[in-house]
Structure 1
């Protein structure tokens, strides 16, 4: 290695610490045989690769409503999930960029008794924002907050399989399950199941005191949440940012403009139609991740006409999913088939037949239901997913060819998740997906789940859900999950349109490592994981 190349290598390590200027680095690069352009690019890449402490970032979220709360029983969208779970709080575990479960507030977890018992050992020295040590009792009360017949928590169904939780000393929590579950550590990473301090024997969610990388400074529902760095965070060196502010920008055009003008440093759910223009801006990075996300049109199967399985089948054949994928998602989504288990998830399969646009089959099922034609309302807003309104317009056109009159009701963006989802008979929705089949099915399709958006209660499906969770034979388990996916396809009330990529955009002011695919915004952890680039 020549002396010039050696000096350049040393200089690369100094960039991230702000110890060498761009100009001096380019001079070293020229001496080492690089062109000025190549040396300049090497400076930028080296600067972005080295995490720096400090700085303030403004992050534009695609959601947010005046009804938002810091109560983890809810967290219906990316604003509350990213700001209050991913930034302010910790669960016992987390899912990494490879889709594997890792310890978070827990230091380790071990199964016993055929995975019917799980012992989670807490990290030593982990504290709440108020300085109080995190104990096993805090974990027990935090999780019991989501259990019991009176809870309003969306995570209730996830913990229905838990027979008992108890503290075994100050640092160990033992879960006893009703049956074995090898995937249980994944469940413990759910963004609702954050750990809170105990007050008067109950979980104190209202104080906003948590364990996470950031401490809440100010929250205006439907507007913004501002947080500052937790100086006593148990993850050494994190977070990198000193402050972060989450802004609710539900309007897509306004969100894109906010990034272009520098009002924010990042936006979730970039506009796919203008993505090409954005890519030409050298100061902006497009971040696209293939994860488990999917866009749905849930029908309430307890209400007419959706209580008729033949009507549901007719509607599934009245939609041209490929046209929607091509025209609305422009190559950033793959056609789905009324199965919520993404292809990358273990035990995923593609049920048959493929539900593609077929007017004759749609009419056949209408006739089977005793109908010549049908009129239904479809409630949508781009708060559900960017392009939902345009997708509904295409559905109206294709359904008309099948004798189905779809009246598209454009709902208000604000409080869509409070006023429309789980309220209107047929609407648009989205799921970030889950890392295991059991988790996805338990939260979105189990009979008694509060987030069972189609209110579907299929006895065979729910029987298999319990059996598959406890089955240790991989082949038998695969067969069970295969049958469950076929049941959602054939009988279920949720039309799964596409598996969508997560597409966001960032100013080159921000830098990051590998982006996690399990949820949007780097697995909801972007505030903890990202940093200001020294460029």
Structure 2
């Protein structure tokens, strides 16, 4: 369903889609066999507590073991997972959600409304990246064991989409600590073994509500592989069947390798640099504007991504969002950058930029190109290379200027609320009321605006504000590059929201 049709459904019908068991295709192949994948982003701090999840390794493992209320299909439409239907009041402020009946957790306990309420309440925690999404819920009432009424602080036509956030996993309400320790969910795979930061093994549950529609492997095994060359070697040797984050320099060689195929999926993933707008010198607008005109975006696209992406314009709303304003990127113009420095009262500027390949493939090279392009403007960018093996937990957001990368989000409110709302835990630019009260006001206004044309206008203004004033430098949107052995079959359409078919490879793929 296109973005326009999706919003038209919400605006005109306000009748939630009853989407069947999962909306997946009929069985494409026999069940059986093992899927082995080499994945990035693993950490010794990984747990089944979704408030802490970062990286593809724990993200893919968690979505195999647990379920969310809704899910993003490969074609970008919304499906029910543990929810089967949702209806809204005319102002989209009150949502009645119907839950799936007959579902059981891996330890045999029955799933119901109390589990949903307790699981969502976890994300009131200040440390959870999903806190801004849950904070929009003013109250949640259990109507029956399988019906919940959510009353929002204000109307939100995107609310069912937010329930697909991969952090909003559902745990059994009366034993959440045990479920987080052992991995007790309602997903297609129960935990067989889990070594944080190293290895996950899951085994297919005997019966599941997605039987005949998903979950074809008898066993899935995810291995932590942070080194790009090691991942490619493991795939070539047959040690694993699939890998994520193929570096662009290796993509062409894998594309032509016998028995392997490259997956190139264009989505809203972006690579860039985050300036903390609450910290000097990035609290000065002219400094931020100088840096926006000092970066050669085309050079990064050509030399770092090798063409596997598109130019970015410092707004995280990407080409697959419904309300992408199609901004023109700030031009690379050293003279204009120098002009902004003079407006800031400076004749030159030296800034430290923290980078790591853990942030995104080619981050050090992108920083070097940035330094080269900024030098003619009188800006000296000193790249500091972070050797931490856990960049996102230990380093990201810990310094005023850092490499950053996001997979993006399907809806504008989802993206803005998670990354740019005042006080959001994952707001890596410290963008808030002090920087742009107008932006924060528009965020609340757009959330409750149900007229599509008006909403488009609000989101367009917000994107212009970010391009012209914000702390995000987004030179490129980067394609998801993964690779898979011919031993594995995949659907014709792969999800674009996250790498590896929206991280649902264990669920959607099968043995060839």
Q: TM-score, normalised by structure 1?
A: 0.87
TM-aligned CA deviation for residue 530 of structure 1: 0.7
SS of match in other structure, 2:366: helix
Deviations 1:382-419 (A, max 9, x none): 11111111111111111112111111111125110112
Is 1:265 the counterpart of 2:241 in the alignment? Answer: yes
Matched with 2:419 is 444
Question: In the TM superposition, what is the alpha-carbon distance from 1:521 to its structure 2 partner?
Answer: 1.2
Unaligned runs of 5+ in 2: 1-26
Q: CA deviation at 1:201?
A: 8.5
Partner of 1:34 in structure 2?
none
Name the residue aligned to 2:285: 309
Alpha-carbon distance in structure 1 between the residues aligned to 2:161 and 2:385: 36
Q: 1:167 to 1:203 in 2, by over 3 A?
A: farther
The 1-side partners of 2:461 and 2:118 are apart by: 36
Correspondence 1:530 to 2:506:
no
Residue 422 of structure 1 aligns to a residue in which SS?
Answer: coil
1:299 matched to 2:299? The reply is no
The equivalent of 1:393 in structure 2 is 368
Secondary structure at the aligned position of 1:205 is classed as helix
**Match of residue 463, structure 1, among 441, 454, 459:** 441
2:280 is the counterpart of 1:278: no
Match of 1:414 among 389, 398, 407: 389
* Cross-structure match for 2:330: 355
2:14 equivalent in structure 1: none
Using the TM superposition, give the Cα deviation of residue 152 of structure 1 relative to its aligned residue in structure 2, in angstroms.
2.1
Please tell me whether the aligned partners of residues 388 and 394 of structure 2 are also in contact (alpha carbons under 8 angstroms).
Answer: no
Distance 1:249 1:356, change over 3 A: farther
Written as runs of structure 1 = structure 2, the 5 A alignment for 1:5-20 is: none
Superposition RMSD on alpha carbons, in Å? 1.5
Mapping of residues 140-151 of structure 1, within 5 Å: 140-147=117-124, 150-151=125-126
> 2:358 and 2:385 mapped to 1: Cα distance?
11
| Number of aligned positions between the proteins | 481
Q: Select the residue among 32, 35, 42 that pairs with 1:64.
A: 42
Of 61, 66, 69, the match for 1:83 = 61
**Residues 182, 191 of structure 2: 8 Å contact kept:** no
SS at structure 1 position matched to 2:313: coil
Question: SS in structure 2 opposite 1:168?
Answer: strand
1:63-113: CA deviation from partner (whole Å, max 9, x where unpaired)? 2122222210021221121111x2111110001111111101111111124
**Aligned ranges for residues 18-417 of structure 1 at < 5 Å?**
50-84=28-62, 86-147=63-124, 150-199=125-174, 204-237=179-212, 238-352=214-328, 354-417=329-392
Aligned equivalents of 1:402, 1:52: Cα separation in 2: 61
* TM-score (normalizing by structure 2): 0.91
Structure 1: unaligned runs, 5 residues or longer: 1-48
Q: Do the aligned partners of residues 71 and 201 (structure 1) sit closer, same or farther apart at CA in structure 2, a change above 3 Å counting?
A: closer
2:75 touches 2:494 (CA, 8 Å); kept in 1? Answer: no
Higher-Rg structure is 1
Within the alignment, does 1:488 sit opposite 2:488 as a pair?
A: no
